[in-house]
Structure 1
Amino acid sequence: MKRIAIQGIAGCFHETAARRHFPGEELGIIPCRSFDELFGRMADDPALLGIAAIENTIAGSLLPNHELLRCSHTQIIGEEKLRISHVAAALPGQGLDRIREIHSHPIALMQCGEFLKGHPQLKVVERDDTAGSAQEIAECRLEGTAAICGADAAELYGLEILERGIETNKHNFTRFLILADERLAPSYVDAQRTDKASLLFTLAHTQGSLSKVLTVLSFYDINLTKIQSLPIIGREWEYRFYVDVAFGDPLRFRQAIDAARPLTSDFRILGQYAACATPAV
């Protein structure tokens, strides 16, 4: 049985993404209150896998998670892209006309703004977690109260779904990274299916330094899928770059890495893995 640490409680989107990445497998889910706790658990137990959101198509990159990944001894062994779809759920036997309060995480409430505008009678209450809102309603038997959460959370906690797909923007996707201890990571990766890599490097604040690296990647037919820069604290105007690339030929990828490495400093490959397709809307 694979044990995997998630940020959040049972029924949250992290658990949904984990189970979709390992379909049909028995998973031991380890809930964590924060991403710091998640990486700490993995550091204490090298056999533990982890899953961490890294970017969202609406909210952008989760910058703190880039730094947690950099400072850890983990490697990326896969990715999962999940469409974030919200439902309104309450104790069974209650229609929306009986609901007076609706609870959820502030981001989820924001993502369901049009639904909430259409129900001005609802008092909006912010909570720490979408799945936690569903759990609280179920355990405390809160009548007249609904949660905005995922369908999995509603089902897990025995709530009745009052309305599905209440998010305003249907093109709301989150990308999750599947993580393993760097010493065990190779055992989880199928080299025959590897076509994506995440890189980390720093560049001096000199003219053309970044363009030279990108030119090398382009020459070797390496497709840049994402680039994220973060300032290096204490080193003014120097930056770390987190870069995702896709490739069709592993040999060309290795050649590109060998050519780009001398142009950078602190170069690391954070993981090589199989790319995940974006689900349909």
Structure 2
Amino acid sequence: MKNKKKVYTLGPKGSFHHLACVEYLGGQQEIEFCESFAGVFEAVRAGHLGWIALYNSLAGVVENHETEIEKNFTLLDEMDYEVKLCICAAPKTKLKELTKLYSHEKAFGESKRFTSEKLPKVEFIKCPSTSHAAQKVAQEKEENSAAICHAETAKFYGLEILANIPNKRKNETSFGLFAG
């Protein structure tokens, strides 16, 4: 992309929004993070570009933003990004010893078969995103705790991958780049 405007997306660093945006842009743009979709829309109204998830092949519409985008913005392009989940934790943590698992509720749903089989007694603790979960596990270094997130997210926070969660069906999220 030749346009050097900042691109605003949901964070923190390592979120699926961030990872997909980096892949789409090829690292050529400056990426800023917002805590909400409303924050992304506000940045686009101020003249920047926005990048948000539109649709997931397993969960359906991510948030109902189509009307807002069609009415107030121009959708410039879309890209599908494969969702791959893993369980990650601080170094030396063992999968079979986990007692707490942090993640976004959609990630819990997408990994239910795996976690009920491998971790039937683990406590599930909801976070705003999978990247927030990884960040929390990395910062708190709580014994026997882990996060469900993307493998690249685990790397951002110095976590080790304990298990990859297999997808039974193709799991992709469609992201959109839009402007004011």
Query: What amino acid does structure 1 have at the position aligned with 2:114?
Result: F
- Map of 2:136 onto structure 1: 136
- Map of 2:77 onto structure 1: 78
Aligned: 1:117 with 2:119: no
Query: What amino acid does structure 2 have at the position aligned with 1:12?
Result: S
CA distance in 2, matches of 1:68, 1:9: 24
- Map of 1:26 onto structure 2: 28
1:155-184 per-position Cα deviation (integer Å, ceiling 9, x unaligned): 1011001111x1543411110111123xxx
Aligned: 1:5 with 2:8: yes
Asked if structure 2 preserves the Cα contact closer than 8 Å seen for 1:134 and 1:147, the reply is: yes
The structure showing larger relative contact order (alpha-carbon pairs under 8 Å, at least 6 residues apart) is 2
CA distance in 2, matches of 1:170, 1:32: 30
How many equivalent residue pairs? 176
Q: CA deviation at 1:89?
A: 0.2
5 Å matches for 1:245-264? none
Query: What amino acid does structure 2 have at the position aligned with 1:180?
Result: A
Q: CA deviation at 1:63?
A: 5.1
- Map of 2:56 onto structure 1: 56
Asked if structure 2 preserves the Cα contact closer than 8 Å seen for 1:85 and 1:170, the reply is: no
Aligned: 1:146 with 2:149: no
Q: CA deviation at 1:147?
A: 0.2
Q: CA deviation at 1:8?
A: 2.7
SS across alignment from 1:116: helix
Q: 1:63 to 1:95 in 2, by over 3 A?
A: closer
5 Å matches for 1:30-49? 30-44=32-46, 46=47, 48-49=48-49
Worse-superposed segment, 99-108 or 62-71: 62-71
SS across alignment from 1:176: strand
Q: 1:40 to 1:172 in 2, by over 3 A?
A: same
Asked if structure 1 preserves the Cα contact closer than 8 Å seen for 2:103 and 2:133, the reply is: yes
- Map of 1:174 onto structure 2: 173
Asked if structure 2 preserves the Cα contact closer than 8 Å seen for 1:91 and 1:158, the reply is: yes
Asked if structure 1 preserves the Cα contact closer than 8 Å seen for 2:6 and 2:29, the reply is: yes
Query: What amino acid does structure 2 have at the position aligned with 1:49?
Result: L
Query: What amino acid does structure 2 have at the position aligned with 1:14?
Result: H
Gaps of 5+ in 2: none
Q: CA deviation at 1:83?
A: 0.8
CA distance in 1, matches of 2:29, 2:138: 24
Query: What amino acid does structure 2 have at the position aligned with 1:147?
Result: A
Q: 1:110 to 1:78 in 2, by over 3 A?
A: same
Q: 1:96 to 1:8 in 2, by over 3 A?
A: same
Q: 1:170 to 1:33 in 2, by over 3 A?
A: same
SS across alignment from 2:52: strand
Gaps of 5+ in 1: 182-281
CA distance in 1, matches of 2:124, 2:63: 28
Q: CA deviation at 1:125?
A: 1.4
CA distance in 1, matches of 2:81, 2:90: 26
Asked if structure 1 preserves the Cα contact closer than 8 Å seen for 2:43 and 2:49, the reply is: no
